[in-house]
Chain A
Amino acid sequence: MQFIMSISYSDVGENLRRIVISGRLDIPGTDSVASKLGELVAAPKKGVVVDLSPVQFLASIGIRALISSAKTVQQRGGKMVLVVDGGSSVLMSLEATGVDQLIPIFRNTADAERAAVA
Chain B
Amino acid sequence: MPNGRQSPERPAEVERSALSGLDELTISANGAEVRRASEWLDASCRRRNVPQASAERLALCLHEVLANIIAHGGGTALSAPVRLLLEVGFEPDTGKASVTVSDAGIAFNPLLVPKKVLPKTLAEASSGGLGMVLIRRCSDRLDYRREDGRNLLTFGVRWNAR
Contact = CB atoms under 8 A, between A and B. Distances in A.
Interface in B28-44: 31-32, 34-35, 38-39, 42
A96 B63 contact: no
Contact of A67 (B38, B70, B127): B127
B51 to A, nearest CB: 13
Interface residues of B, number: 29
A98 B56 contact: no
A57 B121 contact: no
The SS class assigned to the A binding surface is helix
B39 to A, nearest CB: 5
Given A28-B31, A60-B131, A64-B130, A98 B60 contact: no
A89 interface: yes
Contacts of B120: 101
Contact of B134 (A26, A67, A93): A93
A117 interface: no
A59 interface: yes
Contact of B119 (A27, A60, A68, A98): A98
A63 interface: yes
Contacts of B64: 59-60
B127 A93 contact: no
The SS class assigned to the B binding surface is helix
Interface in B1-51: 31-32, 34-35, 38-39, 42
Contact of B32 (A28, A57, A64): A28
B34 A26 contact: yes
B34 A102 contact: no
Contacts, number: 80
B142 interface: no
Interface residues of A, number: 28
A102 B133 contact: no
Best-buried of B70, B120, B121, B131 by chain A (most CB within 10 Å)? B131
A101 to B, nearest CB: 7
Interface string A13-29: 00000000000101110
Given A67-B127, A89-B60, A60 B122 contact: no
Contact of B138 (A27, A61, A68, A92): A92
A28 B42 CA distance: 17
Given A57-B38, A96-B138, A98-B133, 14 more contacts: A26-B34, A26-B38, A26-B63, A27-B67, A59-B63, A68-B127, A70-B122, A71-B122, A74-B122, A74-B123, A92-B60, A93-B60, A99-B125, A103-B122
